[in-house]
Structure 1
Amino acid sequence: MGSDVSQFSASAAGKQHNWTLAAYRYIARKRLGKNQAIDLKSIASKSWDIAPGEAAVTPPAIYLPGQMERVTGWEGKRFYPYVHPARTMEGGINALQGPTRGYLVKDVWLVDGALYKGKASHWLSQKPSRFPTVIVDNEIDRGAIYCTQNGNSWFGTWLMEDCPTYALACNEGTPVTTAPSARYPLFTQGPAYEDWLDMKPLRLRSAFFRELVLFDDMSNNRSRHARYRAMGDKLLSHVPHAPHPGVFLLRGGDGELRMLRNELELAEHLRVTRGFRVVNPLKSDVPSIIAACAGAKVVIGVEGSQLVHGVNVLQAGGCVVALQPPNRFVSYYKYLTDRDHQHFAFVVGIPEGDGFRIDIDEVERTLDLIPR
C-alpha cells in the first residue's frame, strides 16, 4: 500500500485549480436545481465484467394465510416491478441478476465524500458539506473504492454489501473508503468486524487518484454469494460452533423506530420453549454476538439491521424469520436468503399504539412450517 500512496505532489497541485472550479460549479448547479451531473462510471476509460450475470427462479417465502392482508405500508422500490410485496413473497419469479462490473477512471478527486472528474461525479455520502475543503494531501497511483452511500449510512448495508465488495477492491488496487466524520462516524461494531474479516482499508477524507476503480456490485450473483459466504467462514473461524435451534436478536428502540411491544416476552418464550438464544447486540461485543449466532438454524427478530449479525453466519438450509411492522414491510433479507440457499419466513404484526405486537402463537405455527 505504501508504494501506491504519496503526499500531494506538484503534478496534482497543478490540477487543483481546475478541480476547485469543477466541484463548486457542480454544487452550484445542484443547489439551483440545474444539476446535469454525469455519472463518473460513464466516462471510464475501461470497463469490464468481473463475474457474469445469471437467472434463477425465486422460492416462496414461508408465512401463514392472511399475513399479507395486514400490510399497510412497504418500500415499493424493493419490490419492483411489482406494486405490492405479495407477488415477491409468492416466489416463482424468474429473477435476473446482472454481472459484477469494474470501471477504471483516471485523474479523479475525492473531496468530502464525493468523487469528481470534470463535470462527472460519484457520491459516496448523502450529506456533503456546504463548502467542501480544497486541501488535498494524498496522491494515489491506483485505488479501488468499495464503499457506497447506503453503506456509509446504515450498518447492516455496510456489512452485507460494502464488505463483500472489499474483496474485489483488494484485487484491483489500494482498497479505499471514506474517512469517518461528524456526519458519518465509524459504526461502533465496525472495527471489530474489520479485524475478524482481515479488512485493512485506507480511510481518506481527500485524495487525488491517478487511477481509480469503481464497481457495480449490487447483483446477487454467484460471485457475490461466494464472497459473502467467505466472510461468514472467516467469522466462524474465530469461535467454536455447533448446530443449535436458533437465535433471537433484539432490536429494542435502536435505529428507525420499529417498536415491537412484546419483544422481550416473545424472546423469552422462544428461549424457554425452543431453546433459542437471546442476544441484545446493543449490549454485546462482536465476539460474543458471533459466538451466540454461530450454528443457529433460525435467525429471528424485528426486521432490521441487527439481524445481519446472525445472517452473516447462517448456513445453507437455515431460515431468517422477520417480524414485520404492518406499516413498513421490507423484504431485503429474502433476496439474500434466496441467493444463499436459505429460507425466508415472516410474521406481520398488529398495530398497537406507536408500535406493533406479534402474536406468539403465529410465530410458533410459522416456525413449524420451516423445513427440517
Structure 2
Amino acid sequence: MGSGISNFSAPPTRHNTWTLAAYKNMARKRLGRKPDIDLKSIADKSWDIAPGESTVSPAAFYLPGQLERVTGWEGKRFYPYVHPAQTMEGGVCIEQGATRGYLIKDAWLVDGALYKGNASHWLSRKPSTFPRISVDHEIERGAVYCTQNGNSWFGTWLMEDCVTYALACDEGVPVTTAPSARFPLFTQAPAYEDWLDMRPLRLHSAFFRELVLFDDHCNNRSRHARYRAMGQKLLAHVDAAPHPGVFILRGGDGDLRLLRNEIAVAEHLAKTRGFRIIDPLRADVPSIVAACAGAQVVIGVEGSQLVHGVNVLQPGGCVLTLQPPNRFVSYYKYLTDRDHQHFGFVVGLPEGDGFRIDVAEVERTLDLMPL
C-alpha cells in the first residue's frame, strides 16, 4: 500500500449549486420509464489496472460429517458464488478477473449515490427518502474507493475498501461517503485509518469533473500485494513475535451468530494451547493488533471480527472458523487461498437461537492443520 497521500491532492472547491439528479432517478423508477443503468457502463474510458488470472482452490481442513450439518449458506455477496462444499473440497478453478478502472466525466454524488444522466452507482444500501439537492463541493478528479458492502459491514470495509484506497490514491483525490445518522462511521475506523496512513475526503455531495471507479473484487495478485502491504503497515506499530494463536470473540455484535459456549471454547484453547483471547468490542485498535500480531492461528465464530487477526496473519498461518449450521460463509477461505495460508472449519449444532461447538472437534481439527 502506498503512502496514503493522493497524487491528485488539489483540495475541493466550494460549489454552491444544486442538482435534481437523485429525484430524476427516483421518478424514472416509479414511472417505469428508461431502466436505470450502471455508471460504469457509460464510462468515457476504462482500462485494466492489473491483470486477472486463473487459480485452483486447495482443500480446507475439516472433520468427516461437517458439511452434512450445513442447513444454510451465504454466497450471493461473495465471489465466486458457489456452494461451500465445492470450495471446501478444493479443486475449484476460479477465474480471478482483472482489476479495472473507469473514468466518468461530469458526475454527481448525492447522499450515497452517484449519478450521470440515466445512469447511477450506489455506494449505500438505503437510498434517502428526501435526497438533498444542494451540492457543496466541486472535485476536479476524484476516485471513489468505498462500496455498498463496505459501507454496511466493518469487515468488508477493512478487508476490501481499505485495500482499494491504494488504487484511489493513484487515480484521484480518494473519496468516500460521509457518515450520517443512517450510516455512522465504524467505531474503530479512525484508528485503523491513522495506522494505515489513510486520509480520505468524506463527502455528502459533490460534482466531479472527472470521477474514477474501480472493479476490485477479484483476488488477483494485485489485490494480494495491496492487502499484504496493508498488514505490514499495521505490524510496524506492534511487537509481532510469534505465538500459538488468538481467539477473537464475537459475542452478540452484528448479525446474530450466537455461539452458546464461546467463552468456554476460548478459555479451553488458552489453557491447552496457549491461545490469547481478545474481545474487540472492549479493546482499542492498538491492543487488538498487538494481540493478533504473530499468531499462528486465528480462530473464532465466522464474522467480521476475525478480520482483526486475518489482516496481520502471515503466509503459512491458519484460520479456523466456527460456523453456525444455518449460515455457513466461505469468505475467509477465499482470502487464505489468495494469501498462501490454510483454512479450516468446524460446524456447530443448533441450540435455541444460537449454536454450540464441540471443543473436542476444534482440537481434532487443529491437529489436522499444519501448525
Q: Using a 3 Å threshold, how does the CA distance of structure 1 residues 232 and 2 change in structure 2: closer, same or farther?
A: closer
C-alpha displacement of 1:95: 1.1
The total of aligned residue pairs comes to 363
Q: Deviations over 1:250-287 (max 9, x none)?
A: 00000011110000000000000000000000000000
Cα distance, 1:371 vs. partner? 1.0
CA separation of 1:284/1:34 partners in 2, compared to 1, >3 Å: closer, same or farther?
Answer: farther
Tell me, in whole angstroms, the C-alpha distance in 1 between the residues paired with 2:28 and 2:73. Answer: 33
- For residue 343 of structure 1, report the CA deviation from its aligned partner: 0.6
Give the number of the structure whose residues are more often helix, by fraction.
1
Structure 1: segments with no counterpart, 5+ residues:
none
1:34 shift after superposition: 5.5
Instruction: Measure the CA separation in 1 of the matches of 2:79 and 2:194.
Output: 35
Cα distance in 2 for partners of 1:81, 1:279 equals: 31
**Residues 58 and 174 (structure 1 numbering): CA distance in 2 closer, same or farther, change over 3 Å?**
same
For 2:350, what is the secondary structure of its paired residue? strand
Contact 2:75 2:329 in 1 (8 A): no
Change (3 A) 1:168 1:47: same
1:28 Cα deviation after fit? 2.1
Q: In 2, are the aligned partners of 1:246 and 1:298 still within 8 Å (CA)?
A: yes
* Partners of 1:218 and 1:331 in 2: CA distance: 15
Give SS of 1:207's match.
strand
Q: How does 1:99-178 map to 2 (within 5 A)?
A: 99-178=98-177
Q: Secondary structure at the match of 1:315?
A: coil
Is the CA contact (8 Å cut-off) linking 2:34 and 2:118 kept in structure 1?
Answer: no
The residue identity in structure 1 corresponding to 2:111 is D
Contact 1:79 1:85 in 2 (8 A): no
Structure 1 residue 117: Cα displacement = 0.6
- Is 2:10 the partner of 1:3? yes
- The 1:56/1:2 distance shift into structure 2, 3 A limit, reads closer
Secondary structure at 1:367's aligned position in 2? helix
Q: Which residue of 2 aligns with 1:238?
A: 237
Q: Is the partner of 1:104 in helix, strand or coil?
A: strand
Relative to the length of structure 2, the TM-score reads: 0.95
How many angstroms does 1:4 deviate by? Answer: 4.1
2: distance between equivalents of 1:79 and 1:289? 28
- Percent identity of equivalent pairs: 76
Which 4+ residue blocks in structure 1 deviate beyond 6 angstroms? none
Query: Which amino acid letter does the alignment assign opposite residue 313 of structure 1?
Result: V
Shift of 1:2: 6.0
> By how many angstroms is 1:29 displaced?
2.9
Pairing of 1:256-267 with structure 2 (within 5 A): 256-267=255-266
**2:38 is aligned with 1:36:** no
| Deviation per residue, 1:149-172 (Å, 9 max, x gap) | 000000000000000000000000
Aligned partner of residue 136 in structure 1, secondary structure: strand
Match of 1:284 in 2: 283
The TM-score, its normalising length taken from structure 1, stands at 0.95
| Residues 1:179 and 2:175 aligned together | no
Q: Distance in 2 between matches of 1:34 and 1:249?
A: 50
